[in-house]
């Protein structure tokens, strides 16, 4: 019976190509991350770590991209991660064939490579479709070249905050004005924000003010948690619903009092 080539088989072929262009690699390493032990398919380590996650199906590629972002790049400062890659192997390489045939097909088939980097890195999220030798060259171009960093764009930060506020605003659509007032602690909370003399606030503007207020409190708390150890930092990867932002019995509080009902 002719065996199938596994992801590990093709990853070994990728390692050979990377070795040939001067990239230092390790197959199937164990990485200790803040969210537990992780085992990328490959890690490149010239001047910083670049984990590689590989899959045979387009559906699984999405999971590989999420894993690189959430398990590695999210903690890049702690782990020394300079970037990461998700690779989609050609599905026909997984079919039964002698290893020599697989090697030959791999050299001439198109692979999809997704390159990702930390937010302060100028290199953009990029997708490549190339043969295996060219994929190795693209990886080498990133891994062997020191990353470039730029100062944060104030315009981009403002746009991101505005977009976040609108996202929260849309999420508050089903709340009535009275519910928003009660949730945020009474009308006096909105007085300085909306500045309506008769204190009758249109629901649309109440929702918008509530969105900006919540965003402001979340930002304030995140900054506070970086300098005060008794405040637990909010982990966006584990928060599933708004109630999980409420009082924490261990750390006494999760958000400043004015943002809780």
- Whether residue 13 has pLDDT greater than 50: yes
- Predicted local distance difference test score (pLDDT) of residue 23: 95
Distance CA 114, CA 48 (A): 18
**Cα dihedral sign for 173, 175, 177, 182?**
negative
Q: Which of 36-45, 89-98, 214-223 has the lowest mean pLDDT?
A: 214-223
- Predicted local distance difference test score (pLDDT) of residue 259: 42
Question: How does residue 47 score in pLDDT terms, banded at 50, 70 and 90?
Answer: confident
Average pLDDT, integer, range 41-49: 91
- Whether residue 122 has pLDDT greater than 70: yes
| CATH architecture assignment, domain 7-143 | 3-Layer(aba) Sandwich (3.40)
DSSP element (H, E) containing 165: helix 154-171
- The CB-side HSE value for 102 (13 A sphere, CA atoms) comes to 24
Measure Cα distances from 131 to 40, 103, 127, 251, 253 in Å: 22, 12, 13, 52, 53
Question: How does residue 195 score in pLDDT terms, banded at 50, 70 and 90?
Answer: low
- Predicted local distance difference test score (pLDDT) of residue 251: 40
DSSP element (H, E) containing 217: helix 203-227
**Cα dihedral sign for 172, 173, 175, 178?**
positive
Are residues 150 and 120 in contact, defined by beta-carbon separation less than 8 angstroms?
A: yes
Are residues 101 and 69 in contact, defined by beta-carbon separation less than 8 angstroms?
A: no
Tokens of 153: 């764009």
Q: How far is CA 146 from the centre of its chain?
A: 21
- Predicted local distance difference test score (pLDDT) of residue 249: 41
Instruction: Domain ranges for the chain, please list them.
Output: 7-143, 154-259
- Predicted local distance difference test score (pLDDT) of residue 207: 74
Distance CA 160, CA 49 (A): 28
Tokens of 204: 């649309």
Average pLDDT, integer, range 111-137: 92
- Predicted local distance difference test score (pLDDT) of residue 82: 93
- Predicted local distance difference test score (pLDDT) of residue 260: 42
Average pLDDT, integer, range 32-46: 93
- Predicted local distance difference test score (pLDDT) of residue 192: 58
Average pLDDT, integer, range 67-74: 94
What is the chain's mean pLDDT, rounded?
Answer: 80
- Per cent of the chain over pLDDT 90 is 38
Question: How does residue 83 score in pLDDT terms, banded at 50, 70 and 90?
Answer: very high
Are residues 184 and 210 in contact, defined by beta-carbon separation less than 8 angstroms?
A: yes
């Amino acid at each position: 019976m002719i065996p199938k080539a596994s992801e590990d088989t093709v990853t070994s072929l990728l390692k050979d190509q990377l070795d040939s262009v001067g990239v230092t690699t390790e197959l199937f390493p164990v990485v200790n991350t803040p969210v537990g032990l992780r085992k990328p398919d490959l890690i490149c380590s010239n001047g910083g770590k670049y984990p590689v996650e590989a899959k045979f199906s387009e559906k699984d590629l999405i999971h590989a991209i999420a894993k690189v972002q959430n398990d590695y790049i999210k903690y890049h400062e702690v782990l020394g991660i300079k970037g990461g890659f998700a690779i989609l192997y050609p599905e026909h390489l997984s079919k039964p064939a002698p290893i020599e045939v697989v090697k030959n097909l791999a050299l001439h088939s198109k692979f999809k490579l997704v390159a990702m980097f930390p937010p302060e890195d100028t290199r953009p999220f990029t997708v490549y479709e190339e043969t295996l030798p060219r994929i190795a060259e693209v990886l080498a171009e990133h891994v062997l070249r020191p990353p470039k960093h730029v100062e944060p764009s104030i315009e981009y930060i403002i746009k991101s905050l505005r977009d976040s506020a609108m996202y929260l605003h849309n999420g508050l659509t089903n709340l009535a004005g009275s519910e928003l007032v009660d949730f945020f602690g009474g009308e006096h909370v909105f007085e300085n924000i909306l500045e309506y003399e008769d204190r009758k606030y249109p629901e649309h503007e109440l929702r918008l003010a509530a969105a900006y207020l919540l965003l402001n409190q979340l930002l304030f708390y995140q900054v506070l948690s970086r300098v005060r150890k008794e405040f637990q930092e909010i982990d966006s990867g584990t928060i599933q619903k708004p109630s999980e932002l409420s009082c924490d019995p261990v750390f006494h509080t999760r958000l400043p009092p004015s943002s809780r009902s």
